Each structure stands twice: as structure tokens, then as C-alpha cells.
Homo-oligomer: A and B are copies of this chain.
Amino acid sequence: MTLVVQKYGGTSVGTLERIHRVAEKIEKAHRDGNRIVVVLSAMSGETDRLLRLAHEITANPDERELDVLLSSGERVTIALLAMALRNLGVSARSFTGRQVGIVTNSTHTKARIAKVMTDSLQRALAEGVVPIVAGFQGINERSDVTTLGRGGSDLTAVALAAGLKAERCVIFTDVDGIYTADPNIVPSARKIKKLSYEEMLELASLGTKVLQARSVEFAAKYGVPIEVKSSFREGEGTLVTHEDADMERAVVSGVAGDRNQAKITVVGVPDRPGIAASLFSAVAGADILVDMIIQNVGYGDDLADISFTVPRSDLPRAMGLVQQIAEEIKARTVEVKEQIAKVSLVGVGMRSHSGVASRMFQVLFREGINIMMISTSEIKISCVLEEKDLDRAIKALHKEFDLEENAS
């Protein structure tokens, strides 16, 4: 009998009517003889509502208490779905993170999973019970509730699938798979049938918000196949798995755009060893992810300009730090540019095909789009450009690399 972990996101359980629909889906799969473990998020909007309450109470809510607060959202959905399933004659039972035994470290609000016990779930499955597990939460060694950070329910699902050696982890969400580009921007974008973990990781980190990056890493580590599909429509989704011979052999698998970008330039930095280090270690210390870095050595003087990108949402915090350090190191000034974006090509095929980068630059040049920064990895090329040029860049690249529907 196959064992599958199914995860339903916030929009999939956002209303009572949708919870009923999820219950019917599960009832059918159960009736068909599958063993199923279900992982749920809170109703869409609930986690944000709770966060808002916390931030209205105090500007800096205690993180242990934040986790007590935030973990209440999933209790509501697991209880309601279990009720709905029992009503359909399925012997379902809700499990909190503690009841499953998802043990994490004590980094509240973004805890890392240390251990996943599966005894209680195994026992329930052996009794024919369908366990309904609260995603996003665990307990630390002191038995305090912890949460796993944004998108943490994906991680719960993958971790349970790994622990239970499930055949597959199915992530039900509001899109029906991973596309070659955002269909809102490129109407001819095609659903990708199969994708490697590495490609998915690059796409996840590039702003394709379908799967949480940490859950993809976890799945890759333990070899859990992830299927992304729609909870609203029938049909196949996208399978994320190990790279294999069978994998589509396109050079480029997809084009991703990311608007959550801002560029900071520290102008006139004395060109001495250790200066850049002090700057970036301060920013990293504040848990702000610096993505691309360029240093232009000045001509004639000993001053350099250092430019780097950070998530636009972290810009205010980053600027506070950077301004302070710029003063300390006696830099001339600090400039900010917010209206930038990043376009990226991703594909395992790049490993064996050279010339992808130059084709990319030519396309952008042809479109009259200025490239501000470039970064590459084995299976990815990213360019930073003006935000206003992003959609045009995505469309042109999607066409250039033959990603359209019905393309040969």
C-alpha cells in the first residue's frame, strides 16, 4: 500500500467550503486504498492577522511568545478538517507538532528541525487512521512550541515524508505546477513536468514562491520526490526529483523574475583590506541576505565604490547599518536604488551547453535593456536590470530559449 504525504496550503483551507473539498479529496484517496498523512497550514491570512496583533501589542514581540501565538492558527485547520473527515466516515485524527514529535532547535520563529519522530504516526496509520498534522510547528527540547518560518508547512510535509519513507510528498497549492515563466507575464508559458531539486532550489530562491527553499533542500537530501499540484483542479502537476536521464533535456528550464530587490552603493570607500569585510559581516549579522556584489575600483584615487543587492523588504534595516558603517569607514556617501529587478535563467542543461550567458546578454541588448549586475552559478544566470524592463526581458528570454507551449 502506498504512503503519500499531502500538504494543503493556506488558500486550500481558507474557507469552510474549501476544507470540505479537501476532505472529499482525502476521503476518495483513502477509499482508493492509499495510506495518507495530511499536513495543513493555517487559513490564509490567519498567520498575518496574528502577527499584526503581536506587533500592535509591542514593537518587538518576544519570539517564544510569538511562536505560542502563531502556532494557534494550524490548530484550527487540523481540528476542522479532522471533523469534516470523520463526518465522511474517515477515521481522521489531528496531531499538533508536539504530538507528532517534530523536535527543533530553539531558534524561535525560524527553528530548524532536529529530529522527526514517526512512532505516533506509524501507530495511527497501522490503525487505519488518517493523521492530520499541524504544519509549521514543532517543539524544542524544553517542550516549548517553535515555528519553522514562512512556508514552514512545506518543510513539515517533506520532513514527515522523509521520516515515514513515503513514496511521495504532494504539495497542494493554488497553482497547478511550476511554469517556464510566470503565466501572468508570459501567457504562452508551459507547465514543467519534471524538474531537478537543484533547478527548483534556484527557482525557489529566485522568487517563485511555490515551494519553500529549505523544504526543497531537505527533499534533495533525503531523496523525497515532491509533486506540486493544484488543490482546485484535477490533473498532473510538476514533479521535483533527482536529475535523471529521463529529465527533459532543455538547456533552460525556466525564466524567473524577482522584484524584491534593491541596490545599495557605498560611494568612495577607502580601498583598504578588511573594509568590505566589515561592511558585509555587519549586514549578514542582521540576517539580511546580500545577493550580488560589485566593486569598482576608482581611477586615480584610492577610493572604490561597492554596490550590492538586498531584498527590498530588508532595505530600511540594511540602510540603518550601512549608513553607520559608511561613517565609520569614512566613505563619501551611500546611494540607494529601489526600482530594480532580477531576471534569471535556470536549467541543468547549462552544465553541458556553453553560450547560454552570451545568448542571454544579446537578447537583452537587442531589447535595449541595460544590465546592471550579473551573477552565475552552474545552472543559473541572473541579471539585475531596471524594474520597468523586467516583463519585457522575461518575455524575450522565454521566446529565445524555446520555452513556449507546443515549442518543439
Asked if A16 contacts B79 (CB within 8 A), the reply is: no
Q: Which of B53, B54, B86, B144 contacts A62 (CB 8 A)?
A: B86
Asked if B75 contacts A87 (CB within 8 A), the reply is: no
Q: What DSSP secondary structure best describes chain A's contact surface?
A: helix
Asked if B76 contacts A94 (CB within 8 A), the reply is: no
Bound together, the chains give a CA A80 to CA B68 distance in angstroms of: 9
Question: Taking the complex as formed, is A66 at the interface, i.e. its CB lies under 8 A from any CB of chain B?
Answer: yes
Question: Taking the complex as formed, is A61 at the interface, i.e. its CB lies under 8 A from any CB of chain B?
Answer: yes
Asked if B69 contacts A72 (CB within 8 A), the reply is: no
Within 8 A of B (CB), among A73-95: 73, 75-76, 78-80, 82-84, 86-87, 93-94
Question: Taking the complex as formed, is A245 at the interface, i.e. its CB lies under 8 A from any CB of chain B?
Answer: no
Q: Which of B16, B58, B64, B78 contacts A56 (CB 8 A)?
A: B16
Copy count, this protein chain: 2
A288 CB to nearest chain B CB (Å): 24
B-side contacts of A96, CB under 8 Å: 68
Task: Tell whether A84 pairs with B57 under 8 Å between CB atoms, given A76-B50, A99-B143.
Answer: yes
Most buried by B among A56, A64, A83, A98: A83
Task: Tell whether A65 pairs with B94 under 8 Å between CB atoms, given A80-B53, A80-B54, A99-B143.
Answer: yes
Task: Tell whether A57 pairs with B83 under 8 Å between CB atoms, given A76-B50, A99-B143.
Answer: yes
Question: Taking the complex as formed, is A228 at the interface, i.e. its CB lies under 8 A from any CB of chain B?
Answer: no
B-side contacts of A50, CB under 8 Å: 76
Residue of B nearest to A67 (CB): B79
Task: Tell whether A76 pairs with B99 under 8 Å between CB atoms, given A83-B65, A86-B62, A86-B65.
Answer: no
Task: Tell whether A19 pairs with B83 under 8 Å between CB atoms, given A50-B76, A68-B96, A76-B72.
Answer: no
Question: Taking the complex as formed, is A71 at the interface, i.e. its CB lies under 8 A from any CB of chain B?
Answer: yes
Bound together, the chains give a CA A64 to CA B144 distance in angstroms of: 22
Question: Taking the complex as formed, is A30 at the interface, i.e. its CB lies under 8 A from any CB of chain B?
Answer: no
Within 8 A of B (CB), among A339-363: none
Question: Taking the complex as formed, is A20 at the interface, i.e. its CB lies under 8 A from any CB of chain B?
Answer: yes
B-side contacts of A72, CB under 8 Å: 72-73, 75-76, 79
Asked if A94 contacts B68 (CB within 8 A), the reply is: yes
Residues in A lying within 8 Å of B, measured CB to CB = 16, 19-20, 50, 53-54, 56-58, 60-62, 64-66, 68-69, 71-73, 75-76, 78-80, 82-84, 86-87, 93-94, 96, 98-99, 143-144
Having A61-B83, A62-B83, A69-B83, one finds 18 other A-B pairs with CB under 8 Å, namely: A54-B80, A57-B80, A60-B87, A64-B93, A64-B94, A65-B79, A65-B80, A65-B86, A65-B94, A66-B79, A66-B83, A68-B78, A69-B76, A71-B75, A72-B72, A72-B75, A72-B76, A99-B143
Q: List 19 A-B contacts (CB under 8 A).
A: A16-B53, A16-B56, A57-B80, A57-B87, A58-B84, A58-B86, A58-B87, A61-B83, A62-B82, A64-B93, A64-B94, A65-B79, A65-B82, A68-B75, A68-B96, A69-B83, A72-B73, A98-B98, A99-B143
